[in-house]
């Protein structure tokens, strides 16, 4: 019976051009061989399974090749290359620092370094997992690493660069290996499948590549596992079942229910997923990734960040067109907070369900804001028709609205267009005459910008705006505290009104309105106002505050 060789060994790259996803590093090493500018020590660092040891072996083989190709790859025909391929080369020495990490082991290595190569020009010493060396072993290695014989080259490989002493790092040329991109891993898996005569769906290979998380060795191990399970045909369904990956369709259906505000169906979907054995933490992490993928599909420039197969990509693009970016950002924030607090929660299932309910609520609120009842539109049209002649607004297409001497009620105003809050030097050039808003509409736009501040929104929504002249409006506010706060955001308010009305000279002033009988504002707005009101009802509250050093 023929011996089986795992794909990670069988398809291990034998030259620089076959290394996956590390083109910048392989090009640098080839140029070093070409120009004969070889350092005495190299450090290859990066995640597992990305080709550190493989590149070290190819580099050592190419250095000693007596007849390199035109693009400076090893020829595989000279005696040195044949000896390397047959694992009998005396020029290349590999040491596992995990099991040879003592001072005595390093001393033996130093003694070995003194022996010059018998074939070839260099002796290459590859030390894997070098971070496992003890501090004493590192110190014993320092002198040899800094000034080795001219024929000796050290290649150190590690997954934990931060554990290596700075004195070692300063003596090496450092190469940081990247995680293998999903598309690169998918392409290489397709090549392996073709070589093995296996029919594989591209979406299935994409799932394997994503599951490997940037490690080519892991991807090939998963590939072998799927082949053992499904034989000569690898399907998407078999892959997600064997690798215990949640189907994309669950997230697409769940997102649709969330966007509809359908809490019941969203919870039932999660219950179905839980029954299949998926952990709630993995589910919420997957939902975060799903919302992230939808977000990057909102802009054609960022679609390239989506790491999925072509069929699934179309589904993401379709759902991105149906989803609001504001909802996505809030949903991502909820999912992220749930991810953080999940482990500490006593009732973990409730944490996920609560997150889903919050997302549904956000979607419902967004839906309400974007829908303007037709009855409201017709009501405003009728009110405009009935407007008294004394309060009639005169709008000049060139210079903007002229509203001198009128008092405006902002109840029921409807926002016609969305405008950004970015400052411009001349807003009149940005808005045409037909797009200019009236003061009522501009004020309603302002309130929509402040809807994330409920108390401020409720305090302002029923106030009257008095127009002093065509460039000045006065807002009556209920008390000093509200006036002081509005002054801090005056520039934002002014900018919104200017852009909406296309009047770059428009200014807003605030005036405290007083009660006709007492001469004082009776509106309770801030925490201080509430506290003063309670103290007036019960003076003992002041003593309680002072005794316990409390804050209102």
- The pLDDT tens digits for 158-216 are 999 998 888 889 989 999 998 888 888 999 999 999 998 999 988 899 889 988 888 89
% of the chain beyond a pLDDT of 70: 83
Mean pLDDT of 132-161: 90
Residue 106 predicted with pLDDT over 50: yes
Six token digits for residue 330: 């809030």
Closest-CA residue to 104 (of 132, 141, 130) = 141
How many distinct helices (H) and strands (E) make up the chain? 24, 13
Please report the pLDDT score of residue 525 as a whole number: 56
For residues 313 and 306, what is the distance between their CA atoms, to the nearest angstrom? 8
For residues 288 and 251, what is the distance between their CA atoms, to the nearest angstrom? 10
Fold topology of 7-176: Rossmann fold (3.40.50)
For residues 125 and 93, what is the distance between their CA atoms, to the nearest angstrom? 5
Outline which parts of the chain fall under CATH 3.40.50.300.
Answer: 7-176
Cα–Cα separations (whole angstroms), residue 99 to 153, 241, 294: 21, 38, 47
Please report the pLDDT score of residue 264 as a whole number: 92
Residue 366 predicted with pLDDT over 90: no
CB-CB contact of 458 with 524 (8 Å): no
Angle at 466 between CA 465 and CA 470, to 5 degrees: 115
- In the block, residue with structure tokens 């008095």: 466
Residue 443 predicted with pLDDT over 90: no
Outline which parts of the chain fall under CATH 1.10.8.60.
Answer: 182-242
For residues 543 and 47, what is the distance between their CA atoms, to the nearest angstrom? 62
Angle at 39 between CA 38 and CA 41, to 5 degrees: 135
Residue 550 predicted with pLDDT over 50: yes
Six token digits for residue 524: 């309770």
CATH architecture of 377-512: 2-Layer Sandwich (3.30)
Fold topology of 182-242: Helicase, Ruva Protein; domain 3 (1.10.8)
Q: How far apart are the first and last CA of the chain?
A: 82
Residue 516 predicted with pLDDT over 70: no
CB-CB contact of 541 with 496 (8 Å): no
Closest-CA residue to 58 (of 38, 41, 46, 76) = 76
At 504, give phi and psi (nearest 5°).
Answer: -75, -10
Compare 397 and 170 and report the one with higher pLDDT.
170
Name the DSSP letter for residue 50. S
At 474, give phi and psi (nearest 5°).
Answer: -125, 130
For the sheet containing 464-469, what is the strand order? 407-409, 464-469, 472-477, 507-512
| Residue spans of alpha helices (H) in 126-279 | 135-146, 166-169, 182-195, 202-212, 216-230, 236-242, 248-260, 263-275
Mean pLDDT of 222-228: 91
For residues 19 and 62, what is the distance between their CA atoms, to the nearest angstrom? 14
CATH architecture of 248-370: Up-down Bundle (1.20)
Q: What is the pTM of this model?
A: 0.60
Q: Most distant CA pair in the chain: distance in Å?
A: 109
Six token digits for residue 418: 């969305």
Residue 332 predicted with pLDDT over 90: yes
Please report the pLDDT score of residue 2 as a whole number: 59
For residues 380 and 261, what is the distance between their CA atoms, to the nearest angstrom? 30
Closest-CA residue to 172 (of 137, 214, 125, 132) = 125
For residues 216 and 225, what is the distance between their CA atoms, to the nearest angstrom? 14
Mean pLDDT of 61-70: 87
Mean pLDDT of 535-549: 81
Outline which parts of the chain fall under CATH 1.20.272.10.
Answer: 248-370
């Amino acid at each position: 019976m023929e011996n089986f060789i795992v794909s990670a060994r069988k398809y291990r790259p034998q030259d620089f051009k076959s290394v996956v996803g590390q083109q910048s590093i392989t090009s640098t090493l080839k140029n070093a061989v070409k120009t004969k500018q070889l350092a005495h020590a190299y450090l290859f660092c990066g995640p597992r399974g990305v080709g550190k040891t493989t590149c070290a072996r190819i580099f050592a083989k190419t250095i000693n090749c007596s007849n390199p190709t035109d693009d400076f790859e090893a020829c595989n025909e000279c005696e040195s290359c044949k000896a390397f391929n047959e694992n009998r080369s005396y020029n290349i020495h590999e040491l596992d620092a995990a099991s040879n990490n003592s001072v005595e082991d390093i001393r033996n290595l130093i003694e070995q370094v003194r022996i010059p190569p018998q074939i070839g020009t260099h002796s290459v010493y590859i030390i894997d997992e070098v971070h496992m060396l003890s501090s004493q072993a590192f110190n014993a290695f320092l002198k040899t690493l800094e000034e080795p014989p001219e024929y000796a080259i050290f290649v150190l490989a590690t997954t934990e660069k931060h554990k290596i002493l700075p004195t070692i790092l300063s003596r090496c040329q450092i190469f940081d290996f990247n995680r293998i991109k999903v598309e690169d891993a998918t392409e290489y898996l397709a090549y392996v499948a073709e070589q093995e005569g296996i029919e594989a769906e591209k979406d299935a290979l994409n799932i394997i590549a994503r599951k490997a998380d940037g490690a080519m060795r892991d991807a090939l191990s998963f590939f072998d596992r799927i082949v053992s399970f499904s034989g000569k045909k690898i399907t998407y369904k078999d892959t997600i079942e064997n690798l215990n990956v949640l189907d994309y369709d669950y997230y697409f259906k769940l997102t649709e229910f969330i966007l509809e505000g359908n809490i019941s169906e969203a919870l039932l979907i999660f219950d179905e997923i839980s029954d299949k054995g998926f952990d709630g933490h993995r589910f919420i992490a997957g939902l975060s990734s799903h919302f992230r993928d939808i977000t990057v599909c909102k802009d054609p420039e960022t679609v390239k960040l989506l790491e999925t197969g072509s069929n699934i990509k179309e589904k993401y693009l379709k759902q991105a067109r149906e989803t609001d970016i504001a909802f996505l950002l809030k949903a991502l924030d909820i999912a992220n907070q749930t991810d953080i607090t999940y482990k500490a929660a006593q009732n973990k299932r409730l944490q996920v369900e609560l997150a889903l309910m919050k997302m549904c609520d956000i979607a419902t609120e967004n839906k309400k804001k974007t829908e303007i009842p037709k009855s409201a539109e017709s009501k405003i049209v009728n009110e405009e028709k009935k407007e008294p002649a004394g309060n009639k607004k005169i709008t000049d297409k060139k210079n903007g609205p002229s509203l001198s001497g009128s008092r405006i009620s902002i109840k029921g105003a409807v926002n016609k267009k969305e405008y950004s809050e970015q400052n411009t030097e001349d807003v009149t050039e940005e808005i045409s005459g037909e797009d200019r808003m009236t003061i009522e509409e501009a004020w309603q736009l302002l309130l929509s910008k402040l809807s994330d501040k409920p108390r401020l929104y409720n305090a302002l929504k029923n106030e009257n705006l008095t127009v002093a002249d065509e460039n000045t409006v006065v807002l009556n506010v209920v008390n000093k505290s509200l006036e002081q706060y509005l002054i801090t955001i005056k520039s934002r308010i002014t900018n919104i009104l200017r852009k909406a009305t296309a009047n770059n000279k428009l200014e807003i002033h605030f005036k405290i309105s007083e009660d006709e009988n007492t001469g004082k504002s009776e509106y309770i707005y801030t925490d201080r106002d509430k506290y003063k009101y309670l103290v007036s009802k019960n003076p003992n509250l002041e003593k309680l505050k002072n005794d316990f050093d409390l804050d209102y």
